[in-house]
Amino acid sequence: MIVEPKVREFICTTAHPEGCRENVKRQIAYVKEKGQVCGPKKMLVIGASTGYGLASRITAAFACQAATIGIMFEKPSNGKRTATPGWYNTAAFEALAQEEGLYAKSINGDAFSAEVKQQAIEMIKEDLGQVDMVIYSLAAPRRTTADNKTWSSTLKTTTGAFTEKSLDLRNNTIVTKTVESANDEELEGTIKVMGGEDWMDWMDALTNAGVLAENAVTVAYSYIGPELTYPIYTEGTIGQAKKHLTETAGRIREKHPGIQAYISVNKALVTQASAAIPIVPLYFAILYKVMKEQGTHEGCIEQISRLFHDKLFAGEIPMDEQGRIRMDDWELAPQVQDAVMDCWKEVDTENVKKLSDIEGYWEDFYHMFGFHFDNVDYSRDVDIQVEIPSL
Ligand code: NAD
């Protein structure tokens, strides 16, 4: 089949298997170029198929030679529709890891469920004995809890309606967008889905099963961003969930003193999860321009590679007063934020191409789905039914 991108606002409903493989290959090449790190040897990645979780899996495997088990929620192709990008990424990752003799297996299922936790525990017991690192990198729209109740995550404010400039992704125009305030149920749902409860459940389950090594490290990812987006992010429903996630790191350390639990606050990047947040994509596009001009722009792989090399495994871990690792240090640098705010004030439909890196935004977007790689021949017929070796 010849696979073309089918974009609907912030989602692309097709993915290119060879392009996704190229995406994974480029990330591996970056990690190898950066050299080895004395990091994990056996790692579980929850949310391993795209974005920050995939970058974490690639870094652990190719910079630390770690055996990895990855958990994801992806769809294979049914022969007519392509698979989701995370499916193709994982197929490519496993094949490329195995080529180098690295253990890599994956579980495709709902990480929130007790069944998938049990499956992961069995796999660790049988194949690895224990894991010494767990990355928690889920971004999910909903979660069904043990009582069979399904909670939904909402991207709303908590302090009244918020109106700001926004990028209309359908036609690259600047519009004004109002985000409404969440009700109590929506706020509770977001905390249930994106807060730390499930991270704690994982840590309890892995500890009780004896599959976590002594002094195992676990890291969950968070975001803060600039004051401009506080109403929709940090002070919004998702920010409240992230606050719960951050508090959970402390709770894990208290309950399981043998676990080193950390929060890493990462940089704003285009991923399937973040593209869906209103107002934020315009900030991303301006941020990309400023950080590229200042030579500090990073993608997921650059962020996670730096997390491993400079923060997690370089001696004492540098943390802020709330005990968080700050990978958003370059994003929030005053010289970056001042320049972003200058552009933000001025940006409109006429000057958006000049004041923001809208092309870079879209380039990252297409790359996520395996499109727009100059060395992939998109006119060629490709087999969309790709198998993941371990599944
Ligand atoms: P993403 O959408 O690229 O990845 C989400 C991952 O979770 C995928 O592997 C997906 O398969 C998996 N997943 C979703 N629901 C699942 C389920 N029920 N069971 C199993 N797996 C499931 O998202 P991302 O942007 O990489 O986000 C990962 C984490 O990083 C999130 O906590 C997010 O808040 C955080 N973060 C993101 C940004 C950003 O700008 N993108 C910045 C800082 C922090």
**In testing the pocket of ligand 1, which one of 75, 93, 223, 368 has its CB within 8 Å of the most ligand atoms?**
223
pLDDT tens digit sequence for 181-202: 999 999 999 999 999 999 999 9
Whole domain around residue 271: which residue ranges?
5-366
pLDDT of residue 103: 98
Residue 2: predicted pLDDT: 97
Pick from 183-192, 251-260, 269-278, 353-362: least confident: 269-278
Does residue 89 belong to any structural domain of this protein? yes
Ligand 1, atom 34: nearest CA belongs to which residue? Answer: 222
Reply yes or no on whether the pLDDT at 290 is more than 90: yes
* Residue 142: CATH number of its domain: 3.40.50.720
> Binding residue per annotation — 86?
no
- Give the pLDDT band of residue 242 (cuts 50, 70, 90): very high
CB 2 within 8 A of CB 378: yes
Token pair, residue 194, equals 């994106």
Percent of the chain scoring above 70 in pLDDT? 100
Q: How far is the CA of 255 from the centre of ligand 1 (A)?
A: 25
Q: Helix %, strand %, coil % for the chain, to 5? A: 40, 20, 40
Separation between Cα atoms, residue 12 and residue 9, nearest integer Å = 8
Ligand 1 geometric centre to CA of 220 (Å): 10
On whether residue 225 sits in a domain, the answer given is: yes
| Atom from ligand 1 closest to the CA of residue 272 | 2
Ligand 1: nearest atom to the Cα of 328:
43
Distance 240 CA to ligand 1 centre (A): 17
Q: What is the pLDDT of residues 318-339, one digit of tens each?
A: 999 988 999 999 999 999 999 9
- Looking at every residue in the chain, the average pLDDT score rounds to 96
Cβ-contact 86, 381 below 8 angstroms: no
Specify whether the backbone of 51 is left (phi greater than 0), alpha (psi in -120 to 50) or beta: left
| Residue 278 confidence (pLDDT) above 80 | no
Residue 271 has pLDDT above 90, yes or no: no
Q: Would the annotation count 366 as a binding residue?
A: no
Question: Amino acid letter at 157?
Answer: T
| pLDDT at 170 (0 to 100) | 86
Q: State yes or no: 126 annotated in a binding site.
A: no
**Quick check: 209 pLDDT over 90?**
yes
**Averaged pLDDT for residues 28-46:** 98
| 320 in any annotated domain | yes
Q: What is the pLDDT of residue 9?
A: 77
Residue 290 main-chain phi, psi, to 5 deg: -65, -45
The atom number, within ligand 1, closest to the CA of 53 reads: 26
74 is an annotated ligand-binding site residue: yes
- CB-defined site of ligand 1, < 6 Å: 47-53, 71-74, 86, 110-112, 137-140, 221-223, 266, 268-269, 271-274
Query: Which of 87, 88, 138, 368 is the pocket-test mutation for ligand 1 (most atoms within 8 Å of CB)?
Result: 138
Q: Is 376 a member of any domain? A: no
Q: Does residue 23 surpass a pLDDT of 90?
A: yes
- Gap from CA of 345 to ligand 1 centroid (Å): 30
Which of 360, 361, 367 is CA-nearest to residue 88? Answer: 367
Ligand 1 atom at minimum distance from 54 CA: 9
**Is 233 marked active-site?**
yes
Amino acid 272: pLDDT: 78
DSSP 139: -
From 30, 88, 221, 233, active-site residue? 233
User: What is the enclosing helix (H) or strand (E) of 341?
Assistant: helix 334-346
**Is 360 domain-assigned?**
yes
Structural domain includes residue 388: no
Q: Tell me, in angstroms, the distance from the centre of ligand 1 to residue 141's CA.
A: 10
C-alpha 32 – ligand 1 centre gap (Å): 24
Atom 30 in ligand 1: residue holding the nearest Cα = 221
Looking at ligand 1, which residue's alpha carbon is closest to its atom 15? 140
Asked if the model's pLDDT at residue 347 lies above 80, the reply is yes
Per-residue model confidence as pLDDT tens digits over 135-183: 999 999 999 999 999 999 999 999 999 999 999 888 889 999 999 999 9
88 is in an annotated binding site: no
* ipTM confidence: 0.99
- Output the pLDDT for position 276: 78
> Residue 43 forms beta bridges with which residues?
68, 133
Number of folded domains that form the chain? 1
Does residue 103 belong to any structural domain of this protein? yes
Compute the average pLDDT of residues 304-311: 98
In ligand 1, which atom is closest to the CA atom of 70? Answer: 9
213 is in an annotated binding site: no
Average pLDDT for 103-119: 98
Residue 342 has pLDDT above 90, yes or no: yes
Predicted confidence band at 47 (pLDDT cuts at 50, 70, 90)? Answer: very high
**Rounded average pLDDT over 70-81:** 97
pLDDT given at position 329: 97
Is residue 44 in some structural domain?
yes
- Residue 293: other Cβ atoms inside 10 A: 12
